[in-house]
A and B are shown apart, each in its own frame.
Chain A
Amino acid sequence: MGITSKPVVFAVLAAVVILIGTTVTVFIPLFMPSTQPVSPYIKPYTAVEQEGRDIYMREGCNNCHTQTVRPLRTEVLRYGEYSKPEEFAYDRPFLWGSRRTGPDLNRVGGKYPDSWHYKHTAHPQSMFEKSNMPPYGWLAKNRLDTGYSFKKTSTLGYGYAESEVQQQIDQYRETVTSASYPSKESRNQVTPPELQNELTEMDALIAYLQKLGRDVKNMEARK
């Protein structure tokens, strides 16, 4: 056979063969609006939530937690309404995951108060003795770095002005540090005194977790 004595022709042909399936199932869908629809109910992450999302990625939470509820009866019973494509329009990257060592988190927002998350994230075993989740108490000991927050949200196309980003950060700091914050006690238990008036990585992570599945509830309510 002639082709096996022509390496360059062989390589070109191999590339063509490889690109057929790639084009049909990956490249073309990129340009079809139906692959990633958008909804006015789904809002982008705030700067703090985005920082929390980056910490979620940094710690590889996606290795144990999925973020997609499948349209199966027991799954909807366990986690809530199944995932809709519109929810992920701002997710760069997607964090659907591939293994559920821990439960799915796509509908975790609003399910528990912040205090629950402070306690659980810092010491999972204090709430569930036999849980195998790693403790993340040290996140409360790290001051949140917001140096790139504006650059991040503008790269992701969230459309916030620099002042808005600063306002979001200040506002969230005020929320979690105010005397009337309902989860103040558990926050102070895990946050060292010198950081109790600052934003920590733990604060941002929890802000992100509380955002998960929140907007889509409004979308579903209006249907």
Chain B
Amino acid sequence: MNEAGYNYRVVRGFAFSALFWLVIGLVVGLWIAFEMFNPALNLSPWLSFGRLRVVHTNGLGLGFGLAAIFSTSYYILQRLTRTPLLFPRLAQAHLYLFNTAIALAAISLFAGMNTTREYGELEWPLDIVVVIFWVMFAINVFGTLIKRKEKQMYISLWYIISMTVAIAILYIVNNLEVPINLFKSYTLFSGANDANVEWWYAHNIVGFIFTVPILAMFYYFLPKSTGLPIYSHRLSIVSFWALNFAYLWTGAHHLMLTPLPEWIQTVAMAFSIFLIAPSWGSVVNGYYTLQGNWDQMRTNYLTKFFIAGITFYGLQTLQGPLQGLRTLNAFFHYTDWVVGHVHMGTMGWVTMIISASFYYMIPRINNTELYSVKLANTHFWLILVGQFTWTITMWIAGIQQGAMWKATNPDGSLMYNFLDTVTSLYPYYKLRFVAGVIYFIGILVFAWNLIMTVRKQPNQSEA
């Protein structure tokens, strides 16, 4: 316990849940990366690529991502409101229900209970559990906010509020389905409408899980770690509202040149380009915060996580809209380029920011210092090198496959059959696997460092 009575137990619980699901999700990731060039690893139905891929995406998105978001949100919420959680026992129940749900989610996806709606593959009983734990979270967020002692809500709280609202809308609408039995349901929407609803959901689940709450962490932990105030409050207001407004229009850039009506695609394309502005608002705000203090990149181990992270966010939000342009999309869509794009966001931006946030937060809630800054630096370089190698390899693979699909002979016939375009990628897939291993070692160092930190004897004096 601490003087103010803040509940850190649930913060710690979610942080270590995040680490656990991160390791599991990455092991599955490595497994399917290997299957991509050696199908012999499809040993049984439960280990076949089609099932494992969703275990990987859900394990990391829902398991790791959400747990890290809940952990940091509960921490930020209490610190910024200067108020302990209003319902600490509800938060504890949230933690248990969450981990039970993720475990059941993993098992059900292994078993093939899969609605096939990307990033929303869970069957209806688990959808209900997700909604329940989301409501439990929302009750604590709004309860604590209403009871808060600090009058002004800082930027990070805005992002936590908009995430809470947006995910509720997205998840419920996308998962409207008619049950057949306990393990099977059909969505309410059909064909092009279903595609439109699903990609509105999938795109914005990325927006409101892998962008919005990560920005909440960035805006809170960057000034805390560096001791420097955010450069521009006005810029953060403009970026916040513009981002929340524009994001929801852009889902259909995932459906370029499909049978979805062209106007929806074109609107999505236009708003995607617009979205560069608010995204870069946060990037610029981050860079300018360091103005005159760039020596911290050398002296403060946390600063480089944040700056590398926001740089990948900047690249991600530039690459994304460009991929959404119809002409470029015609070339890149369905290739490994997009796989590289996604992983720059998750392995670069998301993991970098979560890592630094945990490094700042965990020693403080345990009233101790980090076990090893040296290991934290090792972790940084391993995940940076791993991620860069991974994504660059996939971009090159994507360009190659896109070009091979399009290549024609002088008489107008296709130059390559489909299998040629697949087998030519195996060297890249092997390199990608190696990059994944490097990244994974970095994550193990991260987990080890935090485990050793909480096992240390707390300091005698209150921090």
Contact = CB atoms under 8 A, between A and B. Distances in A.
Contacts of B248: 18-22, 25
Nearest to A124: B39
A134 B42 contact: yes
A74 B403 CA distance: 11
A35 B254 contact: no
Interface string B193-229: 1111110100000000000000000000000000000
Contacts of B165: 11, 14-15, 18
B252 interface: yes
Contact of B39 (A4, A59, A94, A133): A133
A17 B245 contact: yes
Interface stretch (A79-87, A109-117, A166-174, A187-195): A79-87
A84 B260 CA distance: 9
A54 to B, nearest CB: 7
Contacts of B116: 57, 60, 62, 93, 95
Nearest to B53: A63
A78 interface: yes
A132 interface: yes
Interface in A118-132: 124-125, 128, 130-132
A186 interface: no
Contacts of B338: 98-99
B157 to A, nearest CB: 8
Interface stretch (B64-72, B366-374, B405-413): B405-413
Interface string B331-372: 000111011000000000000000000000000000000000
A30 B169 contact: no
B190 A92 contact: yes
A130 B166 CA distance: 45
A14 B191 contact: no
B115 A70 contact: no
A58 interface: yes
Contact of A96 (B181, B255, B422): B255
A135 B189 contact: no
Contact of B334 (A7, A21, A99, A133): A99
Interface string B235-275: 00100010011111111101101111100100110010000
Interface stretch (A149-157, A175-183, A202-210): A149-157
B158 A10 contact: yes
A10 B152 contact: no
B162 A125 contact: no
A84 B259 contact: yes
A21 B249 CA distance: 5
A91 interface: yes
Interface residues of B, number: 93
B158 A4 contact: yes
Given A1-B237, A11-B142, A98-B254, A132 B37 contact: yes
Contact of A74 (B162, B241, B405): B405
A135 B50 contact: no
B244 A96 contact: no
Contacts of B264: 25, 29, 35
Given A25-B267, A29-B193, A54-B184, A63 B334 contact: no
Given A36-B192, A60-B51, A99-B338, A4 B153 contact: yes
A60 B54 contact: yes
A103 B191 contact: no
Contacts of B252: 25
B115 A57 contact: yes
B39 A71 contact: no
Contact of B114 (A24, A34, A60): A60
Contacts of A148: 180-181, 184
Contacts of A5: 151-153
A130 B406 CA distance: 21
A83 B259 contact: yes
Nearest to A37: B192
Contacts of A152: 180, 186
Nearest to A88: B191
B180 A8 contact: no
B414 interface: yes
A4 B153 CA distance: 5
Contacts of A84: 259
Given A7-B142, A7-B145, A60 B53 contact: yes
B216 to A, nearest CB: 13
Contacts of A97: 334
Nearest to A12: B165
A14 B190 contact: no
B132 interface: no
Given A25-B252, A58-B114, A71-B257, A7 B39 contact: no
Given A93-B186, A95-B116, A7 B257 contact: no
Nearest to A100: B334
Contacts of A26: 173, 196-197, 200, 251
Contacts of B330: 70, 72
B319 interface: no
Contact of A89 (B117, B191, B267, B423): B191
Closest 9 pairs between A and B when the two form their complex, measured CB to CB: A60-B50, A88-B191, A21-B248, A134-B42, A21-B249, A85-B259, A58-B112, A7-B145, A100-B334
Given A29-B196, A78-B414, A99-B334, 18 more contacts: A4-B152, A8-B142, A11-B142, A14-B158, A19-B169, A26-B196, A60-B48, A63-B54, A64-B50, A66-B334, A70-B258, A74-B405, A94-B190, A100-B335, A131-B39, A132-B422, A134-B48, A135-B42
Interface of B: 35-39, 42, 45, 48-51, 53-54, 112-118, 142, 145-146, 148, 151-153, 157-158, 161-162, 164-166, 169, 173, 178, 180-181, 184, 186-198, 200, 237, 241, 244-252, 254-255, 257-261, 264, 267-268, 271, 330, 334-336, 338-339, 405-408, 413-414, 418-419, 422-423, 426
